[in-house]
Amino acid sequence: MHSAEFELNYASLAKIRHNIEDWVGRYNDKRLSCFILITSEILTNLLKHSFPKADYCRIEFYGDSAGWYLKIFDNGGCFSDFEKRVLEANNIFDDLQVSGMGLGLIKTLVDKFEYDIANTDLGHEYNCYQFELVASKQLTIAIIDDDYSILVLLDAYLSDSYRVLTFDSGQAAINGLLGKQVDLVISDLNMPVVDGLQLRKAVQGDLGNIPFIFLTGENTEKLHRLAIDDVLKKPITKQALLQSVERVLIRHASLQKSIGKQLSPSIVNQLLPRIKQQPSGYHILLASRAAESGGGDFVFQKEQLNGSLILLADVMGHDQQAKFFVHAYQGFLQGVTHGLTDCSSPETLLQALSEGLRTDDLLASSLLTALSIFCSKEGGISIACAGHPAPKALVNDQWQTIAVDGPLLGFIDKAEYVARDCPIGVPIMCFTDGLIENLSDKEQGEFLIKLSESISATKPSLSRAMDYYDNKAGVPASDDMTLLVIIPKR
């Protein structure tokens, strides 16, 4: 079991999220990532709405042969109608703009949920939210057919090797698959109201480019021209079904991997963290390492009349989804800062970004932390924070943490951020949480020593520090890491 206690405030949300990411990341089950989002949603709602206000939480995460469990304990006022509110939440996007996620989405992410109110007479000192995912190391296949006997037969053929979801109509599948993680859909082609092709078109927006196998009693020759993954003619034998499923899943996995590789040289390189222009009066060093499946760290830079505005951000997740959101955020920030030439307050950029996440349906489905940095031409550096690891300043050969914090982006209406002035004339180190995740406390200390040596050389660089990092964290490491060091010129 993984368990930890936390003081509950906005500043601690990033630390709590990092803990949950670390816990679920140790297990090879992509479904567990939903617990990260659920934790952020529940804790943010506790901070915003609990009365009396919760200031303590304990989180437990564990698994057994039956499933995976997340428990969140808090000492605030009870949420007396939590289960009722979740059950009544039908449209996941209704709450999305309010809180960044919504109770409706919680319902789609987990298999079971419970809520117990604190009761000292029964020995329950704290309120407790419990969420459960039924154990499944198997891929998930959805079967849709209006013939009940076909559903039963195919379920029996596949249930030994896959997790199976069954639906007796196209519309039932559209409703039931919303928010679910499914690896393959097997659908009857000819169904009343919503046929197989209409079903595929309807769910593509939610499930993405998921493979489909169609079932039909007609001649299948002409159907192979429809750019579909496979077609099986009824009656269907177990051997033919299993062979088709395995063939389609292998081909789809290979295609997804190939797409990721093709994207890298043409698009992804343009999204890698970089400093496009050295600000007047400063020398900025940057190094970045991406996890094997691709990175979600990015840097945005906007030159101002009196300095340079820089954003260092970390989008939760990896692979194509994180790369997509990096691209989306870059475009959003370009729009927000278009025509902006005299902004010297880094908190303004975070406030605009937070409002974008809160009100934009697309951005609201992601989660990120960020540091907003302003490098003044007069030599001062100020930093505002949104749930991101705090920066450090090299003062008298010692790295000192700069006490700056702020709420996660998109979770509060009209969020307020406060910038902190950094010590004058000393190097400032900003980084994403991969540094914390991939190195032990001892290794982080040694990394900082190497970093001091690297930037104090005749020609400052990050080479010694990053060589040490690569050696300890591995290549590729388990999480993305971006390091940005701002050195004032003397």
Which pTM was predicted? 0.54
The more confidently predicted of residues 401 and 180 is 401
pLDDT digits (tens, 9 = 90+) for 306-330: 899 999 988 875 455 666 677 677 7
Q: Closest Cα partner for 307 from 265, 275, 342?
A: 342
Q: What letters, b where the CB count within 10 A reaches 16 and e where it falls short, cover 331-369?
A: ebbeebbeeeeebbebbbbbbbbbbbbbebeebbbbbbb
What pLDDT, on the 0 to 100 scale, is given for residue 91? 41
Lateral strand order in the sheet of 56-63: 2-7, 56-63, 67-74, 127-134, 112-116
Query: Is the pLDDT assigned to residue 284 strictly greater than 90?
Result: yes
Domains of the chain plus CATH, in order, are: 2-134 (3.30.565.10), 140-263 (3.40.50.2300), 272-488 (3.60.40.10)
Residue carrying structure tokens 């816990």: 23
Q: Determine the Cα–Cα distance for residues 214 and 170; give it in Å rounded to an integer.
A: 13
Q: Determine the Cα–Cα distance for residues 447 and 116; give it in Å rounded to an integer.
A: 44
Tell me the pLDDT of the chain averaged across its residues: 81
What pLDDT, on the 0 to 100 scale, is given for residue 450? 93
Lowest-confidence region among 272-286, 289-303, 380-394 = 289-303
What pLDDT, on the 0 to 100 scale, is given for residue 101? 41
pLDDT digits (tens, 9 = 90+) for 238-262: 999 999 998 888 887 766 665 555 5
* 94 — pLDDT class (breaks 50, 70, 90): very low
* 93 — pLDDT class (breaks 50, 70, 90): very low
* 484 — pLDDT class (breaks 50, 70, 90): very high
Query: Is the pLDDT assigned to residue 413 strictly greater than 90?
Result: no
What pLDDT, on the 0 to 100 scale, is given for residue 446? 94
What pLDDT, on the 0 to 100 scale, is given for residue 5? 93
Q: State percent of the chain over pLDDT 90.
A: 27
Q: Determine the Cα–Cα distance for residues 446 and 112; give it in Å rounded to an integer.
A: 44
pLDDT digits (tens, 9 = 90+) for 156-209: 999 888 888 999 999 999 888 876 778 899 999 889 889 888 888 888 766 667
pLDDT digits (tens, 9 = 90+) for 113-148: 888 888 877 677 899 999 998 765 578 899 999 999
What pLDDT, on the 0 to 100 scale, is given for residue 295? 55
